[in-house]
């Protein structure tokens, strides 16, 4: 039976028509993907909304079917990233780091390759030569390979490819930079931070906070309200992109016992920052950041790294913020009688290893651990 179709003004690709059973709707349109045109027509919908929903479903199916055959590494990686962001699996910093690593390392060689055309032999040859050419550390190459493997595994789960070529890849690279530090070197660094006139009060305080195991982004996010007597709350971070976020993991939300020297410096910093806020016609509140520049804005994320460049140059000991976190852990675990779980709690780790999984530690234990550690300074 021939029908008279009337285009809907809301969507011309959906038309209504009258049948013996009443008013019906159909969808009729064409779609071009990768220079291939496909015509789509389907009838019998009971309402405009039903037809519109079906149209969207068909568009998704067609796009997927076309893309699955010829999707490139570049295209799939972007879809992969978007899904990670949408479902909350990745923080923004993870997204930025991952895209940077792919853009810098993977896309120049593999970006235009179709996923299905990547072979294990070619990839293994590439990653081995790439590590040698770039002189990247083995740890960095492991991270890069793990990211690539994750993308291809996801493609397998989504039936884009039948098997991942990124399996049992042998990763090489140069040795990672040494994070170890001797007791003598630690004392030299600590004494410089504590006494040197080369550092301002704010710089000294930020550097001291690394000595009790705080992460870079945790130091940047300290606000007045998180300083409570001899305890410091870690509940916000500010990342390299200036974004305020929650700490890295749920266990990273914590109260950290402060040794007297750090408590004193933080209180002095608060008083100094109050004057900075006042000079900008602002009243410092408990919600404000402690570490600010002359305009009462958060200091640059790179400020802490700059401080450690000064420390490295003046002490002739190569140190950086995260190295001091390693140093704290090394010293703490070397002190007899301390509960390892208390040390992990101070650092914001959920566990040390499976053997210590059920050892929860105590607040008193964390304070005791900090007192014993700081007594050695």
pLDDT of residue 182: 84
Report, as an integer, the average pLDDT of 324-346. 81
Nearest to 173 by CA among 126, 213, 116, 131: 131
**Burial zone of 192 (CB within 10 Å; 0-12 exposed, 13-18 middle, 19+ buried):** buried
- Residues recorded for the chain: 377
Concatenated DSSP letters for 59-107?
HHHHHHHHHHHH-BHHHHHHHHHHHHHHTT-S-HHHHHHHHHHIIIIIH
Q: Quick one: how far is CA 86 from the chain centroid?
A: 14
Query: Which helix (H) or strand (E) element contains residue 331?
Result: helix 321-333
- For residues 115 and 35, the model is more confident at 115
pLDDT in tens, 221-269: 999 999 998 899 999 999 988 888 888 788 889 999 999 999 999 999 9
Buried b (16+ CB within 10 A) or exposed e, 219-236: bbbbbbebbeeebbebbb
Quickly list H helices, 87-239.
92-101, 107-110, 120-134, 138-157, 183-195, 201-210, 216-220
Cα 314–319–324 angle (5° rounding)?
A: 125
pLDDT of residue 92: 84
Other CB atoms closer than 10 Å to residue 100's CB: what's the count? 10
Tokens of 127: 């990653």
pTM, full prediction = 0.67
| Interatomic CA distance for residues 263 and 166, integer angstroms | 50
Q: If you average pLDDT over each of 34-43, 89-98, 308-317, which comes out highest?
A: 308-317
Beta bridge partners of 115: none
């Amino acid at each position: 039976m021939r029908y008279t179709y009337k285009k809907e003004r809301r969507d011309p690709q959906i038309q209504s028509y009258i049948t013996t059973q009443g008013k019906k709707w159909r969808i009729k349109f064409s779609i071009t993907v990768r220079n291939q045109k496909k015509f789509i027509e389907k009838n019998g919908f009971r309402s405009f909304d039903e037809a519109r929903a079906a149209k969207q479903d068909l568009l998704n199916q067609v796009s997927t079917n076309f893309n699955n055959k010829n999707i490139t590494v570049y295209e799939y990686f972007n879809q992969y990233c978007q899904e990670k962001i949408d479902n909350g699996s990745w923080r923004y910093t993870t997204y930025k780091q991952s895209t940077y690593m792919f853009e810098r390392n993977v896309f120049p060689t593999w970006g235009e390759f179709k996923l299905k055309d990547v072979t294990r032999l070619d990839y293994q040859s590439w990653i081995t030569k790439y590590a040698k050419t770039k002189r990247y550390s083995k740890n960095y190459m492991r991270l890069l390979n793990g990211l690539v493997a994750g993308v291809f595994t996801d493609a397998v789960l989504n039936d884009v490819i039948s098997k991942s070529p990124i399996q049992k890849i042998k990763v090489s690279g140069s040795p990672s930079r040494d994070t170890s530090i001797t007791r003598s070197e630690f004392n030299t660094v600590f004494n410089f931070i504590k006494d040197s006139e080369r550092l301002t009060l704010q710089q000294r305080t930020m550097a001291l906070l690394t000595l009790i195991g705080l992460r870079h982004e945790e130091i940047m996010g300290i606000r007045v309200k998180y300083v409570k007597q001899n305890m410091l709350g870690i509940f916000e971070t500010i990342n390299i992109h200036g974004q305020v976020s929650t700490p890295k993991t749920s266990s990273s939300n914590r109260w950290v016992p402060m040794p007297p020297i750090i408590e004193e410096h933080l209180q002095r910093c608060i008083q100094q920052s109050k004057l900075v806020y006042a000079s900008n016609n602002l009243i410092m509140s408990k919600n404000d950041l402690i570490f600010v520049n002359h305009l009462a804005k958060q200091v640059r994320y790179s400020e802490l790294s700059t401080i450690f460049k000064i420390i490295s140059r003046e002490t002739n000991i190569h140190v950086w913020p995260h190295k001091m976190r390693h140093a704290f852990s090394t010293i703490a675990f070397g002190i007899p009688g301390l509960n390892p779980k208390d040390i992990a709690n101070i650092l914001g780790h959920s566990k040390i290893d499976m053997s210590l999984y059920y050892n929860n530690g105590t607040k008193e234990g964390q304070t005791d651990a900090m007192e014993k550690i700081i007594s050695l300074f």
